[in-house]
């Protein structure tokens, strides 16, 4: 009898666990810088009894497995392989590095539009996603709008995820007096004319959602459902998991549906390979040089100037991610791939030279390593400005620097305590928190998956832009004041005319 009761209790517990479990779809842009931060969040979701599935390109799955990273569940998308996001961004950055800003934007738009079209017309993928009957999606906030449209097509509630959040589109309070717009290189202590320029940029961003968009993707790809604008599709997000941190940003107010979880890709360092460890374990300090997994081609003689500078600093060893094969000369080791996070956590590492992507910047803060930054585009100039403003390092221009300038900056950052002290302090703050970022992100995703977003979502997200920014109220007050002024002016003129007539009449008498 007692064994039957015990069996029944166990069965009931399993039913409860199964009932609470959610099937979560992860839709990420096919770039390591976008997927790697999501993997620890998915791992935490599994600990909470949920199942997670990534839609990936075959190329991305192979690349992750080559680094020892295995996804528990994945669906291969041929459209992701045909228009590989990492290739799109690589071409964009290479054009940007050559100073071809307009051409880089054209290439990016062409690539992402082609990716969206292929993705939304992948009937095999759509049928497979429908068969899985997912409960909620975690969607990359990267400017690949079709991910949001896919969630709308599948009737999935979703959480936005990534290192970027559009403050104006997603109705995050932003005061241009002290909060620089995301793609600017201003800091929070702006001059008068910087505040003027920042305000104008902000007004343009505010007005943008009201302007005609490139194409209404919901109307095009989801004709079976009510038509919604691209803006409305984005604003349906239950939460925004923002891979950012006050340690890599300026203090600003966020509504409760924006959850700061910076440093998702950072983790304790592991032992590096023998060829790297031999160089790193010498008595010299180690400098890690990496411009990410995407950017591989340097403009003109830029890389030659860097190598010349490195050769002249014999007190330091340099490990560089560049090229297609391993090369070792004097104090320089060049490799096609490096374990960046593990090297930043190496006890001999004293400096990180980087393009200042969000994940790499947070890894530098996590391990307390000062930086020299060469930002190119997207969020990199903003990140670099923040890093320099907070005293974590020095920002340089990839298009305009000399070997002598680089040597001086390397010596200043690597051999003085100022920058090391500032970023070590930031690292201590990061590690003092009671909840790691991946655990924090998983907690909130679990919360909205179970209970919805009514306690997080503010009504401003559902208001038309002119109501949210009080444009209608301002117009009403202006019209009221103008009308009052006109009435008072006309009354004054009438009184004056009346008094003038009386005065003339009195004089005649």
Partner residues linked to 138 by β-bridges: 26, 159
Nearest to 358 by CA among 36, 25, 30: 36
Which distant-in-sequence residues (6+ apart) come within 8 Å of 253 by Cβ?
Answer: 173
pLDDT of residue 16: 46
- More confident site: 186 or 313: 313
Residue 55: inside a domain, yes or no?
Answer: yes
Range of the domain at 475: 470-508
Q: Is residue 10 part of a domain?
A: no
Q: Say if 229 falls within a structural domain.
A: yes
| More reliable by pLDDT, 225 or 93 | 225
Asked if 504 and 443 sit in the same domain, the reply is no
Instruction: Give the tens place of pLDDT for each residue, 217-269.
Output: 888 899 999 988 888 888 899 999 999 999 999 888 899 999 999 999 899 99
Residue 364: pLDDT above 90?
A: yes
Determine which of 3-7, 23-27, 105-109, 126-130 has the lowest per-residue pLDDT on average. Answer: 3-7
In a domain, 12, yes or no: no
Q: So what's the pLDDT on residue 14? A: 47
Dump pLDDT digits (tens) for 422-441: 999 999 999 999 999 999 99
Query: Do residues 327 and 398 both lie within one domain?
Result: yes
**Do residues 344 and 449 share a domain?**
no
**120 shares its domain with 246:** yes
Which CB contacts under 8 angstroms, 24+ apart, belong to 94-100? 94/295, 94/296, 94/297, 96/376, 96/377, 97/295, 97/297, 97/298, 97/299, 97/302, 97/376, 97/398, 97/399, 98/299, 99/299, 99/399
Report pLDDT digits (tens) over 147-181.
999 999 999 999 999 988 877 778 888 888 988 88
49 and 106 fall within a common domain: yes
Is the domain of 238 the same as that of 217?
A: yes
Specify if 3 maps to a domain.
no
Q: How far apart are CA 433 and CA 430, in angstroms?
A: 6
CA distance linking residue 506 with residue 354, whole number of Å: 88
DSSP 3-state of 31: coil
Tokens of 130: 């429908």
Region for 49 from its dihedrals, namely left if φ exceeds 0, alpha if ψ lies in -120 to 50, beta otherwise: left
Residue for token pair 């997200």? 461
Q: What is the pLDDT of residue 17?
A: 46
User: Residue 212 maps to which CATH number?
Assistant: 3.40.50.2000
Cα atoms found within 13 Å of the Cα of residue 3, Cβ hemisphere only:
0
Q: With beta carbons less than 8 A apart as the criterion, state whether 292 and 305 touch.
A: no
CB 316 within 8 A of CB 410: yes
Whether residues 252 and 281 share a domain: the answer is no
Q: For position 214, what pLDDT does the model report? A: 59
Per mean pLDDT, which range of 50-54, 111-115, 372-376, 403-407 is the poorest?
111-115
One domain, residues 174 and 208: yes
What are the tokens at 203?
Answer: 């007004």
* Residue 9 resides in a domain: no
Residues 333, 476: one domain?
A: no
pLDDT in tens, 474-498: 999 999 999 999 999 999 888 888 7
- For 137, the 3-state DSSP assignment is strand
Residue 249 lies in a domain: yes
Instruction: Tell me what pLDDT residue 179 has.
Output: 87
pLDDT at 253: 86
262 is written with which tokens?
């910076």
> 386: buried, middle or exposed (CB in 10 Å: 19+, 13-18, 0-12)?
buried
Residues in the chain: 509
- Torsion 37-97-90-240 (CA) sign: positive
Query: Of 179-183, 288-292, 340-344, which range is least confident?
Result: 179-183
Residue 381, domain member (yes or no) = yes
Contacts of 139 (CB under 8 A, 6+ apart): 27, 147, 148, 151, 158, 159, 160, 161, 237
Task: Show the tokens assigned to 217.
Answer: 């993707």
> Which letter does DSSP use for residue 373 in this model?
E
Helix axes 358-367, 417-431, angle to 10 degrees: 90
Q: Are 285 and 354 in a shared domain?
A: yes
Tens of pLDDT, residue by residue over 313-337, are 999 999 998 877 888 888 999 988 8
At residue 96, does pLDDT exceed 80?
no
Q: Is the dihedral of CA 451, 454, 457, 461 positive or negative?
A: positive
Which pTM does this prediction carry?
0.86
Q: In what order do the strands lie in the sheet with 158-162?
A: 74-76, 51-56, 23-27, 136-140, 158-162, 240-242, 258-260
C-alpha–C-alpha distance, residues 354 and 364, integer Å = 10
Collapsing DSSP to helix, strand or coil, 355 comes out as coil
Stretch 457-461: mean pLDDT, rounded? 89
Same domain, 441 and 340: no
Long-range contact pairs involving 64-68 (C-beta distance under 8 Å, separation at least 24): 64/32, 64/35
Per the prediction, the chain carries an average pLDDT of 86
Radius of gyration of the CA atoms of the chain, in A:
28
- Give residue-wise pLDDT tens across range 64-77: 887 788 888 899 88
- Number of domains present in the structure of the chain: 3
pLDDT at position 166: 79
Q: Are residues 449 and 426 in the same domain?
A: no
């Amino acid at each position: 009898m007692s064994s039957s009761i015990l069996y029944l209790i166990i069965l009931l517990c399993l039913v409860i666990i199964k009932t609470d479990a959610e099937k979560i779809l992860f839709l990420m842009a096919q770039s390591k810088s976008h997927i790697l931060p999501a993997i620890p969040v998915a791992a935490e979701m599994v600990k909470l009894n949920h199942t997670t599935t990534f839609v990936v390109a075959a190329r991305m799955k192979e690349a992750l497995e080559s680094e020892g990273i295995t996804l528990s569940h994945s669906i291969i998308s041929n459209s992701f392989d045909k228009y590989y996001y990492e290739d799109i961004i690589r071409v964009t950055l290479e054009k940007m590095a050559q100073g071809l800003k307009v051409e880089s934007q054209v290439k990016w738009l062409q690539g992402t539009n082609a990716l969206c079209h292929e993705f939304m017309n992948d009937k095999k993928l759509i049928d497979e996603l429908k068969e899985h009957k997912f409960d909620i999606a975690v969607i990359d906030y990267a400017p690949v709008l079709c991910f949001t449209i896919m969630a709308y097509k599948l009737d999935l509630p979703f959480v936005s995820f990534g290192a970027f959040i559009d403050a104006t589109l997603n109705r995050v309070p932003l005061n241009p007096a002290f909060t620089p717009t995301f793609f600017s290189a201003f800091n929070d202590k702006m001059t008068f004319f910087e505040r003027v320029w920042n305000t104008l940029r902000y007004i343009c961003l505010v007005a943008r959602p009201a302007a005609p968009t490139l194409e209404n993707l919901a109307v095009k790809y989801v004709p079976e459902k009510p038509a919604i604008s691209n803006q409305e599709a984005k604003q349906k997000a239950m939460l925004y998991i923002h891979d950012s941190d006050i340690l890599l940003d300026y203090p600003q107010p966020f509504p409760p549906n924006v959850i700061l979880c910076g440093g998702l890709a950072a983790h304790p360092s592991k032992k590096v390979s023998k060829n790297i460890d031999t160089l790193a374990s010498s008595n010299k300090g180690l400098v890690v040089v990496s411009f990410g997994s995407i950017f591989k081609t340097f403009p003109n003689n830029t890389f030659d100037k860097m190598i010349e500078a490195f050769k002249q600093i014999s007190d330091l060893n340099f490990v560089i991610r560049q090229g297609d094969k391993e090369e070792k000369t004097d104090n320089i080791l060049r490799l096609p791939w490096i374990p960046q996070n593990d090297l930043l956590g190496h006890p001999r590492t004293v400096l990180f030279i980087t393009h200042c992507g969000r994940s790499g910047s947070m890894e530098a803060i996590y391990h307390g390593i000062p930086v020299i930054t060469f930002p190119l585009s997207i969020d990199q100039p903003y990140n670099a400005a923040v890093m320099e403003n907070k005293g974590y390092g020095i920002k340089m221009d990839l298009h305009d620097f000399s070997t002598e300038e680089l040597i001086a900056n390397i010596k200043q950052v690597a051999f003085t305590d100022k920058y090391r002290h500032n970023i070590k302090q930031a690292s201590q703050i990061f590690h003092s928190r009671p909840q790691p970022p991946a655990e924090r992100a998983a907690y909130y995703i679990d919360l909205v998956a179970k209970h919805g977003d009514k306690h997080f979502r503010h009504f401003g997200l559902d208001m038309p832009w002119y109501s949210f920014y009080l444009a209608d109220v301002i117009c009403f007050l202006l019209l009221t004041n103008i009308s009052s002024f006109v009435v008072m002016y006309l009354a004054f003129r009438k009184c004056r005319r009346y008094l003038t007539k009386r005065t003339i009449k009195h004089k005649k008498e």
